[in-house]
Structure formats: structure tokens, C-alpha cells
A and B are shown apart, each in its own frame.
Chain A
Amino acid sequence: MLAAMLGEAWHAMGANRLRTFLTMLGMVIGVGAVVLMMAVGQGAQYAVSQSISSMGSNLFILISGSTTSGGVRSGSGGAPTLTVADADAIAELPGVRAVAPVHTGRTQMVYGPNNWSSSTYGTTPSYLDVRSWSVASGYPFTDSDLRSATRVALIGKTAAKNLFGDEDPVGKTIRVGQSPFVILGVLGAKGQSLDGRDQDDTLLIPLTTAQRKVYGTPFQGAVRMIMVQAETAAGMPAVEKSMVSLLRQRHRLREGMDNDFYLRNLAEAADSAAETTRTMSLLLGAIASVSLLVGGIGIMNIMLVSVTERTREIGIRLAIGSRERDIMLQFLLEAIIISVVGCFIGLALGVGGALLANYLTDAMVVISGSSVLVAFGVAASVGVFFGFYPARKAARLDPIEALRYQ
């Protein structure tokens, strides 16, 4: 009987092809929009999670405090409150995986006829570890480079491109400030940071070299910041607490005195960024769902028209012995067929559109099985939901009235 009814539904839809197609179009656009919007949203989420993981995971950044001289405050990092010894002490704390003290600055680099200015980080070999950064070619500097403050450097992709063009930088000598530096290796690509900075426009040199030979420092051993990586995300609050108390102790800060350093939890920043994009993709999905809703209302509208048009037919069917549920099933089936077929076409268009967007632009668009399933489920429910009322209306028609209807 179901087969017979499917056949009849197909027939009925075929009798009004244009109308069926237009009704379906509402569904197609709705589902297509949901799939595409969810793909865009998930693409954004993916991009954010990529840039978060490029920062390194479970990261704290300690920045030295500010100074006040003659009423002018220097801003964070102005006072030489953090030292390499602080970093070494933090490394001993339980739950800490790696520590990298960093002395930052900008330098002018010269190679042959080219010159270029990049962020230059004086740091320790553990920095690569903390930032989960790899060396694409060549090799990293070592603890012995650190001890002897050798003039060696690792160069980021962007800086290398600007200085060397297509030439291989490994083993070449560049001039940084007044000193010659040998490029030991080229860093792997990191892309943009969360705030949009190009992380590949970078030069890494040993911390000691930076302090003694590039920037110079009035206080031996002072660093601008210390990067700390916790072993696990769950252990981060404990590490934060013990780190703060250790530093207060080392800096001899009494009860009630402010910290003379700043602490940033990058995991929290990452979480909030991820939260933002999640909200955004939900918003996109919600907007797209409105079009799905409109499509559903279109189905309901057309089904109501169809019920009215076929009133006499319903009367005949009732007279020859169809039950209310037979009539109901017949109209419900039509609504479901329209929405499910529309959904398939919409899925194809949505996925196609997402692939096209990926192909034509740099925007990362991600299609997940779950979003496809969700769209499909929603479409089928829309068919049932919006088909139900017209179908019930048809089933509840008075047979005599229906037979008289012209």
C-alpha cells in the first residue's frame, strides 16, 4: 500500500511540475544555505584553531613590569624585573614542561643588496619547543651557542624571502646591526598569529648574543618576557598559582604589593577566540535556518492549496473506503518527498558551493559530515512538520462536503 501511495504522490507531484519545482526550490535554497553557512563557520573555526595551535599549546607569557621615571610610566616590559634566573627557577616547578626566556626587539638585517627589518627574538633553544616550531631546513642553535654567545640565527620564512629571494639562506652570513650572523636554519611556516601579525617575519638568535652583542642591557640577565608551557591544559591553573607565588618570593614582594610582572594565559585568549568564532558560525547557521523555515512554510502553503484543489478527489477517496489515515499519509508523503528531494539537491548545491569557494578563494571552508546530517534531518522534519497540518486538514474533510465541492 505504501508503494501504491508513493506512486500516487509521485503522480500528483508530476501533474503540477512547475509548482512542485518551485516549492522544492525553497527547500533547496534553505538546505543549501545551511550547508554553505555551516561550512563557512566551520572554516573560520578551523582557521582560528590553526592559529591557536601555531602559538603553541598551554602557553603562559610572563612580561616584566613597568617603570616610572619622572612621572612617565614605561608600559609593560619597561622594567628589567624578570631574569634568566627566574626562568630557570620556573622550569623547576611541577607541571611545567618547558620555559623560554625571550629578549625582543627589532633589527635591521642586511644581505648583499637587500635589507629588511624583522622582530628579533633572543632566546634559548627551548623556545622552538615551547612554540611547537620546527626548523624547515638547516638546524637549530644549541645550548653551547647560548653559552658562548655565538653569532648564529634562525630565520623565518617571510624574512628569508625578503632578504634572500629564491636563494637558500642556510649557511649564508647576514649583517645584523654591526655584526655578522650565520644563518643556521630556516623556520617552518607559522602563518598569522591571532592578532594578525606575520609570525614568519622573524629572526631567532641566542639570548646571550642578543643581550651582549645586539641590544646590550644595563642589567645582566634581565629579559623582557618568559614563555612557559604547562604539561597539560588541566594543570594550567596550578602552574599559574605556583609560578606567581614563586616569582613574588624571588622578587621579595610583600603582602599587599602589586606584582612587578604581567602574566598572560594564552589558552584563555585562545578559548575566547574560539568561542567567538563558534558564536559566529552558530549565527550563520541560524540565519541560514531562517531560509529553511521559509522553505518549510512554502511547502505548507502549497500543500494547503493542493488540499483545497483536490477536495473532490479526497471526497471520492473517502467514499470508496479510504480511512482518514490513508488520506493523511498520502499528503504527508507528498510533503516529505518534496522536502527530502529538495534537501538532496540543496546538499549537492551547498557542498558544491563550498568546494567552489575553496577553489576560487583562499577562504577555508570545511564541510563536515555532521553538518550534512543535521541539514538532512532538519529538512525531513520540516517536511513532516509543515506537511502535517495540511495533511490533517485533508483527512478531516467531511466526505459529503468534499464530494459536493466543485
Chain B
Amino acid sequence: MGGALSPDALPLAGAPARSVPAGIGGIAAQSVEKRDAGSLREAHFSQSVIRVEGLHKSYDTPAGPFPVLKDVDLSIAPGEFVAVMGPSGSGKSTFMNILGCLDRPSAGHYVLDGRSVAELSKDELALLRNRTIGFVFQGFNLLPRMNLEDNVALPLVYYGVEREERRARARKMLQRVGLGNYAKSLPNRISGGQQQRVAIARALVNQPRLILADEPTGNLDSHTGEEIMALFDELNREGITIVLVTHEADIARHARRQVSFLDGCIVQDGPTEHHDDNPSRPPLVRGGVETPSPDKGRDGEGLECLE
């Protein structure tokens, strides 16, 4: 696993609040309120929804620790729409799990919404997952025995919301994703695309600042995938920060920024050519990450980690 770590200093990653779009002034102001009176650095911290510095993650194997993430730095500002790309085994899923507070890094800092995650207790992490983050999974992950309304309302149960309000908010969210008439259906009665809409409604029901989507279109046909992405576009326009993992360049093009992983490093980080501008243009990835080299698989020889 020899992703060479040469200090090829591109001034991209780590620059906070680089691409804050217009129309999220409310959220920005909110985060400014939360910040303590402190250094400029802390001000940068609180302006980012996500900021990771020197993130390492390795798993213990019988052959010793196996590094999955090596010194990852990334900062995501409020309102950004980021696509995380990379081949399987590149560490992007582990990275997403850490962003989602489902996993803890071996080393490094992760500041989510102005709070250093390493210092939080398990219950506080649960609270973050409940209120600050909305998850959308590849496999939809709805609870099969519950009707759609109850599925969408589930996060509110752990948030301590009363039954009637839970119901009302769940219905509102279902209407929002266009499934208002299916409140009492069971998940296996509706199509995959509809299930993913329900999952998005569930992710939105607690009004999170951040949505983490792990290959949300991976199980859907391209047309349905586009519908789901249109929904994400809409949410992003409303100011919700979206981080999305995908393999597909077409999907990644919805994002305004693309981050590519290889061998536990970020090898590329830059703005996407918006699909509206030039849909035929290939994604901006250096070194052909999508095409595995014949001898060493997806080792990606010649690529260097961004510092």
C-alpha cells in the first residue's frame, strides 16, 4: 500500500469556507453565534460544518495494524454539496463512517458543527447522529415491519417528541418527498426509488444541517437515480450541506465539489463542472482513478496524496 506521501502542496483541501454558496446566510449566522470568542482559527472551525485534520484510521489485523485512512485533511463549509469518489477499498466508506460519528478515528481531529467529536461521549454522539446528521444509505435501510410514517418518525422517538407531533412531522416530510399518500404502506409495497425517498424523508425529519449519503443511487436505475439527485439538489439549494459517496460520474456531477480518495488519501479535491454547464465533460480526476492499472489493481501508482 504505497501511496507516496510527497508534500505536493495544493492549496485546495483545508481551506475553510471556500465555496459558500449564496442563500445560506441564516445557517452561517447560526454557526457564528455558536462560536466562542476566540482565535481566528476557531472562527474558521465554526464556519465549517465538517473539518478534519490529520485523520488516521487503521484496523487491527492478525498481520498488524492495517491503515485505511492516512492523514486526511478536509474542510466542508455550510451549504456545500460534496461528492466523495474513489474505488472500493480507497477508504471513502471508512471516512464517511467517521464523518457520521459511527466510527472513531485512530488519530487526528474531527470537528463537526463546531464540536470536537473525540471529546464527546457515546450518548452525545448519538445525539449528533439524531439531530445534526441525516443518513441516506445505499440499501435504503427502512425497518420492514413499520409503515412509512413510523419509519420516518423513528428519529423523533429518540428525540423525545410526542406521538401526535411525530406523526404530523413525518407526514409533512413524506409529502415533501412526494409520498404523502403512502403513509400507512409497508416499505416492501413500494419501489426502490420510493423507498429511498422515504429514507431521505427520515433523514430530514429532524432538520439536520448535514446529510451524509452513501451511494444513495447505487441500487437504483439511472432514471430513478436522477430523480433522487434532483431531490438532493433541491435540499442543497435550501442550504443543507450534503456529502455524497458515489461511483458514478453522472451522479457526482450534481455536486459542486468532488473529493477523490485512493489508498486512504485524498488525491483530488476540486470544483465540479456543473452538469448544467457541460454535461458531457468527464469528471475532474487526476491520473485515471476509474481505470485500474493492469499490474497492481487499483493501487493507483503515481498518484500522490494531497497535503
Residue ranges of A at the interface with B (Cβ–Cβ < 8 Å): 1, 3-5, 11-12, 15, 312-313, 315-326, 399-400, 403
Asked if B106 is at the interface (CB within 8 A of a chain A CB), the reply is: no
Whether A316 and B131, one on each chain, are in contact in the complex, defined by CB atoms closer than 8 angstroms, is no
Complex interface: chain B residues within 8 A of A399 (CB): 102-103
- Measured in the bound complex, the distance between the Cα atoms of B135 and A316 in whole Å is 9
Whether B129 and A313, one on each chain, are in contact in the complex, defined by CB atoms closer than 8 angstroms, is no
CB distance from B137 to the nearest CB of A (A): 7
Q: Give the tally of cross-chain contacts (CB within 8 A).
A: 67
Instruction: Name A400's contact: one of B103, B128, B143, B160 (CB within 8 Å).
Output: B103
* Interface core residue of A11, A15, A316 (most chain B CB under 10 Å): A316
Instruction: Name A322's contact: one of B103, B126, B145 (CB within 8 Å).
Output: B126
Chain B 115-130 interface mask (CB, 8 Å, partner A; 1/0): 0000000110011111
Complex interface: chain B residues within 8 A of A320 (CB): 129-130, 135, 154-155, 158, 202-203
CB distance from A322 to the nearest CB of B (A): 5
Dominant secondary structure at the B interface: helix
Whether B157 and A318, one on each chain, are in contact in the complex, defined by CB atoms closer than 8 angstroms, is no
Whether A321 and B131, one on each chain, are in contact in the complex, defined by CB atoms closer than 8 angstroms, is yes
Whether B155 and A321, one on each chain, are in contact in the complex, defined by CB atoms closer than 8 angstroms, is yes
Closest 6 CB pairs of A and B: A321-B130, A323-B126, A321-B129, A399-B102, A320-B155, A322-B158
Whether B126 and A318, one on each chain, are in contact in the complex, defined by CB atoms closer than 8 angstroms, is yes
- Measured in the bound complex, the distance between the Cα atoms of B137 and A399 in whole Å is 13
11 new A-B contacts, CB < 8 A, other than A315-B141, A326-B158, are A1-B158, A3-B163, A313-B143, A316-B141, A318-B102, A318-B126, A319-B100, A319-B135, A320-B203, A322-B158, A324-B123
Number of B interface residues at 8 Å Cβ cutoff, please give it.
29
- Measured in the bound complex, the distance between the Cα atoms of B129 and A316 in whole Å is 11
Whether A12 and B155, one on each chain, are in contact in the complex, defined by CB atoms closer than 8 angstroms, is no
Asked if B19 is at the interface (CB within 8 A of a chain A CB), the reply is: no
CB distance from A273 to the nearest CB of B (A): 59
Complex interface: chain B residues within 8 A of A5 (CB): 157
- Measured in the bound complex, the distance between the Cα atoms of B121 and A324 in whole Å is 11
* Interface core residue of B97, B126, B127 (most chain A CB under 10 Å): B126
Asked if B66 is at the interface (CB within 8 A of a chain A CB), the reply is: no
Complex interface: chain B residues within 8 A of A317 (CB): 154, 158
Whether B157 and A4, one on each chain, are in contact in the complex, defined by CB atoms closer than 8 angstroms, is yes
Chain A minimum-CB-distance residue to B93: A400
CB distance from A272 to the nearest CB of B (A): 60
Complex interface: chain A residues within 8 A of B154 (CB): 317, 320
Whether B160 and A1, one on each chain, are in contact in the complex, defined by CB atoms closer than 8 angstroms, is yes
